[in-house]
Amino acid sequence: MNQTLTLALSKGRIFEETLPLLEAAGIVVTEDPEKSRKLILPTSDPAVRVVIVRASDVPTYVQYGAADFGVAGKDVLLEHGGEGLYQPIDLDIAKCRMSVAVPAGFDYASAVRQGARLRVATKYVNVAREHFAAKGVHVDLIKLYGSMELGPLVGLSDAIVDLVSTGSTLRANHLVEVEQIMEISSRLVVNRAALKTKREKLQPIVDAFDRASRPEK
Ligand code: ATP
Ligand code: MG
């Protein structure tokens, strides 16, 4: 039986913060995606390879079985919907929060209280829709694919829903965080079929990720 495994990762913090978990499973990625143009990276284990994809595409690769497993942010998984994915572990990496931010000086509390329609620019339209619906706030959602911070600065929107960690990007753009919607971290996602057909190879890696992501246990 073919027990070759493909792991989907995105470049940047998810790749960097997954490396120690892979090492705990005895796997070393032997090329640096920031230096290499390769989209398929070999590892020290000939039966494991890494594919580098957009963060928001990780669940799709895993859902269709093009990757057997992957690491994706809760933000991405909520927007994707999680179809066809088994989510065994919160890896507790790439931590941040999803928040509402507005220009400094914008009276968010009274805008919300007065029941006016709020224009909100975000990449996370599903999470934002649910958040404001639960609060009974009427919103017009404007879908963006990046640089949400620009929206309020050029009159595209009143507010944004975006990920925040240190808040320095918000500050640099004179925005203030007015509401925290949820804590975000990255999760291991596994293709449901692969979990059965490749269990022998996959399960020990899942277990190693689990132990390494919870050093206290
Ligand atoms: P793409 O570049 O494909 O459009 P992206 O810009 O959202 O995606 P990254 O910025 O690399 O990709 O973020 C990848 C994941 O890392 C996000 O889905 C989120 O879970 C997490 N993340 C994003 N921003 C932060 C942050 N400021 N601090 C910590 N984790 C973050
Ligand atoms: Mg990016």
Alpha helix (H) ranges present in the chain?
Answer: 13-24, 58-63, 74-80, 108-113, 125-135, 150-153, 168-172, 192-197, 199-213
What does the pLDDT look like over 134-162, one tens digit per residue? 999 999 999 999 999 999 999 999 999 99
CA–CA–CA angle 77, 126, 61 (5° rounding): 30
Distance (Å) from CA 55 to ligand 1 centroid? 7
**Ranges of CATH 3.40.190.10 domains, the chain:** 5-95+185-213, 96-183
- Are the CB atoms for 165 and 68 separated by under 8 Å? no
Question: Which tokens hold the place of 129?
Answer: 């829709």
- Tell me the pLDDT tens digit for each residue of 146-205: 999 999 999 999 999 999 999 999 999 999 999 999 999 999 999 999 999 999 999 999
Alpha-carbon gap, residue 96 to 164, rounded angstroms? 6
CA distances from 142 to 75, 158, 201 (A): 17, 11, 43
pTM for the full model? 0.94
Q: Which of 17, 92, 96, 186 for a ligand 1 pocket mutation test, highest count of atoms within 8 Å of Cβ?
A: 96
Q: Which residues contact 112 (CB under 8 A, 6 or more apart)?
A: 118, 135, 137
Looking at domain 5-95+185-213, which CATH architecture does it have?
Answer: 3-Layer(aba) Sandwich (3.40)
Q: Supply the DSSP symbol for 68.
A: S
3.40.50.300, 3.40.190.10, 2.40.30.10, 3.30.2270.10: which CATH number matches 96-183? 3.40.190.10
9 lines ligand 1 (CB under 6 A): no
pLDDT digits (tens, 9 = 90+) for 64-87: 999 999 999 999 999 999 999 999
CA of 200 to the centre of ligand 2 (A): 34
Question: What confidence score (pLDDT) does residue 181 get?
Answer: 98
